Structure 1
Amino acid sequence: MTQKYRNYDPEFKLYVVKLMELDGHKMTDLSQKLDIPYGNLKRWKTEYRDQKKKEEKEAQNQLLTASEYKEMYEKEKKSNVELQEEVDILKKAMHIFNQEK
């Protein structure tokens, strides 16, 4: 007896996993309705959860330390001060040019 192996699109897999995760559908029900082996659904769900955990870890690794945050804040503050000075100079120049007319 030969078995047929079906390839599923990643978008379809994600859709089915979200049906289970977000909408609360049972794997057994989806397995019967969509004619997908239960083992496949279980594997897809595990892969989805692993991917989410990996994304969360990467997001946490991107968080700044206190010193990095302070440096970034100081640079931003300095940049804002410089921009405000430029705006003030341009306002004065505009006022001068408008008075000459």
Structure 2
Amino acid sequence: MEQLTTTRGEPTPYAERVLDVVERIPPGKVMSYGDVAEFLGEGGPRQVGRVMALWGGAVPWWRVIRADGSAADGLQSECLAHWREESTPLRGTRVDMRKARWDGV
């Protein structure tokens, strides 16, 4: 697994690329952890999730979710508030991935 932090405690180039993609997701749209990895052509859902856990506070982290449209454990109510504020298409308390998934274009 690739290091995600430099020896100086800063994000690695991979982590910076993940965060750059997340910053570009428009309001009302989402990507799954796997979508971000696939878009970059490197890493996987777990690596993206780790980047988000370490560095995601500076980007719209609520726009990166599980493939089933749910938020990470412990973040459900905060995500739901952001999704409602941005008019993200929902199915109950989950994002409607068919309508809200962003393809990076």
For Structure 1 versus Structure 2, the TM-score category normalised by the shorter chain is: 0.3 to 0.5
More strand by share: 2
The structure whose RCO (Cα within 8 Å, separation 6+) is larger is 2
More helix by share: 1
Q: Please, what TM-score do these two structures have when normalized by structure 2?
A: 0.34
